[in-house]
Amino acid sequence: MVYFDEVNRGIVSVVKGDEKMDYKITEEYGNTRVDKFVRKKYEGVKLGEIFKYLRTKKIKVNGKKVEGKYRLQVGDVVNVFLRDGATKEKEFIKLSEKEMKYIKDGIVFEDDRVLIFDKKPNMVMHKGSGHDYGLSEMLKTYTNNMNFTFVNRIDKATSGMIIGAKTLPVTRELSEEIRERRVEKKYYILVDGKPKQNKFTVNSYLKKTETKVVELDEWEEGAKESISYFKTITNGKNRTLLEGLLGTGRTHQLRVQLANEKMPIVGDMKYGVSKESMMYLYSYYVNIPKYNIEIEREIPEVFLTKLKSN
């Protein structure tokens, strides 16, 4: 049977046999590695299995054996013949009315390439770790697009704007822009304590351990240079509202550096001490010059209230 697949963009037609599927590639998947293409398409198939099926010709391109690193070209046909139960394609989740409203209310920008979402605190980005689905899976359903992907991410406890790409070419392009530091992101940060200067820079090395991220004064194997720029917006009695600008985008970067400056973020129970229902770290500004997108959000009222309460 041949049909046009409206759900999975980039696939012109699918020929379905009893246990075989053939995918004809369009520009959406052009230059995508074949192993990543199959991984994206199917549930329950591990990367090691994909390599095995490529070796045993259960995954081929244009009827021929290829390596996993082969990059698909427009017009290629990927032939897939996997083990029983593995050929179940990824499916959209179902959104409740409440979830649909949450998604609509959170979208601050959308065009045919990019969607920017203002995430609430304590919402996970992706499924896993006890969660059947996260914001990514919800937006795949909302956009009716399995290729929707966030190109940056923030912690579960962190709130604010995150950038989503609607096509694989846009994902690659935006990822390159972020990697080359051509996308600017700023944060509102409420901290315990006061800085010695109204403007200051932290330049250090961060390294992941099994349980957290540690800050180092000097480089060692596994550490990455991390640069952050801070300035005071307003002071409270014992707390300060800061603006944080990322020079680099490391895991827990702002959280770790501020904690080591003796100014832990309010509500950060991993690197700080205060116990709150949320962490007071909000991504309020995004600038993507290549796409002429610049968005700035206001200081959340809850930040100002918390600043005055202590």
pLDDT of 213-232, one tens digit each? 999 988 999 999 999 999 99
Under 8 Å between Cβ of 244 and 252: no
Domain(s) labelled CATH 3.10.290.10 in the chain stretch across 2-80
Under 8 Å between Cβ of 35 and 54: yes
In a 3-state reduction of DSSP, which class is residue 228? strand
pLDDT score, position 257: 96
Core vs surface per residue 113-135: b (16+ CB within 10 A) or e: bbbbbbbebebbbeeeeeeebbb
Closest CA to 146 of 183, 121, 171: 171
pLDDT score, position 310: 74
Under 8 Å between Cβ of 270 and 255: yes
Domain(s) labelled CATH 3.30.2350.10 in the chain stretch across 92-180, 182-310
Report the alpha-carbon distance of residue 52 to residue 38 in Å, rounded.
13
* Structure-token match 């994909």, residue found: 50
Residues of the chain with pLDDT below 50 are 1-15, 17-18
pLDDT score, position 8: 44
pLDDT score, position 245: 96
User: Integer distance in angstroms from the first to the last C-alpha of the chain?
Assistant: 67
| Overall pTM surpassing 0.75 (yes/no) | yes
Looking at the DSSP bridge assignments, the partners of residue 240 are: 191, 235
pLDDT of 78-119, one tens digit each? 998 865 555 556 788 899 999 999 999 999 999 999 999 999
* Record: fold of 2-80: 3.10.290
Under 8 Å between Cβ of 137 and 145: no
Q: Span 182-310: which CATH code?
A: 3.30.2350.10
Closest CA to 140 of 167, 175, 118: 167
CATH of 92-180, one of 3.30.2350.10, 3.10.180.10, 3.30.559.10, 3.40.50.10480: 3.30.2350.10
Report the length, in residues, of the chain.
Answer: 310
Under 8 Å between Cβ of 41 and 32: no
pLDDT score, position 7: 39
pLDDT score, position 273: 83
Under 8 Å between Cβ of 185 and 286: yes
pLDDT score, position 39: 84
Q: Is residue 216 within a helix (H) or strand (E), and if so which, with residue range?
A: strand 213-216
Report the alpha-carbon distance of residue 45 to residue 60 in Å, rounded.
16
**The dihedral of CA 250, 255, 260, 263: what is its sign?**
positive
pLDDT score, position 176: 94
Report the alpha-carbon distance of residue 44 to residue 7 in Å, rounded.
20
